Amino acid sequence: MGTGTIADAQSSVFGDLGNVTVDGDAPDVTAFLTTATAGTYIDGDTISIQVEYDEAVTVDTTSGTPYLVLSNGATATYASGSVSASLVFNYVVAEGNTDSTDLSVTSMNLGGGSLVGTGTIADAQSSVFGDLGNVTVDGDAPDVVDSILVAESIDLSAIVAAGANNIEQINMEGNGSDTLSINIQDVLDITDSNNILFIDGDTGDQVIIENGWQRQVSNSESVSGYQQFSMEGVEATLYIDEDVSKLVMNS
């Protein structure tokens, strides 16, 4: 019709919009993989986790970095894989991280970043979860031991051979008549960088030290209640409890 008439819009409006396509199907997670073998991982170990998608995903970290939330409350941070269907996240076990059951992924947080598929944005939070297999975590490191209680006669070399280190004190008190044999190399191996070792004991206890240790007269490094020994040419100090009644110099 002409002026003053209503055009029939439904039948006559059509046309090509050019090279425009529509993909409303966001990338889906298809699998979780890890290069970690079955076993327990401790403080400092790295566990790599691969998140597999059904299409290539581009990771934009301009405003933040995506990360996975794990079953033990720790996180694995995105490391690589953008513009592919396999994204790699790394988890470094930290002190206090534990999970005696199989470690698993519970969710993903974009952390301000984004995951983009073929024209769609991946819904990271709701679709990412899965088990990593027989991988457990024990980041509860043993406490540092700086004292050893001796309850029998022993050669300190045996304690050194067992891997003890950073020891500051050996205690023989209250265990009857014990004997401790010690040489300069033992002191250097078992102590920290200061190379200072205290030996506590009772009357009846015996300490056997190698020839070359020299008892020091009172000086700025003297400690009340202890006999102080040093060795010429070696930066090491041995303090032996004055209650130890038997001190043998072994040639």
Residue 91 lies in a domain: yes
Instruction: State the CATH number of the domain containing residue 76.
Output: 2.60.40
Q: How far apart are the first and last CA of the chain?
A: 125
Low-confidence residues of the chain, pLDDT below 70?
A: 1-26, 100, 118-131, 133-134, 136-153, 155, 162, 251
Which of 110, 138, 166 terminates a domain? The answer is: 138
The token duo for 157 is: 């070399």
Same domain, yes or no: 128 and 194? no
- Confirm if 49 and 128 have CB atoms less than 8 A apart: no
What is the pLDDT, as a whole number, of residue 142?
46
Residue 139 CA to residue 92 CA, distance in Å, equals 10
The token duo for 73 is: 């409350």
- Diameter of the chain measured on Cα atoms: 125
How is residue 151 annotated by DSSP?
-
Q: Quick check: pTM over 0.85?
A: no
**Number of domains, the chain:** 2
Which of 88, 119, 138 terminates a domain? The answer is: 138
Give how far Cα 28 sits from Cα of 56, 83, 105, 121, Å.
10, 15, 15, 11
Same domain, yes or no: 156 and 45? no
Residue 244 CA to residue 240 CA, distance in Å, equals 7
Same domain, yes or no: 176 and 246? yes
What is the pLDDT, as a whole number, of residue 145?
46
What is the pLDDT, as a whole number, of residue 64?
93
Same domain, yes or no: 209 and 169? yes
Q: How many helices (H) and strands (E) does the chain have?
A: 4, 21
Same domain, yes or no: 76 and 126? yes
Give me the domain span that covers residue 194. Answer: 147-250
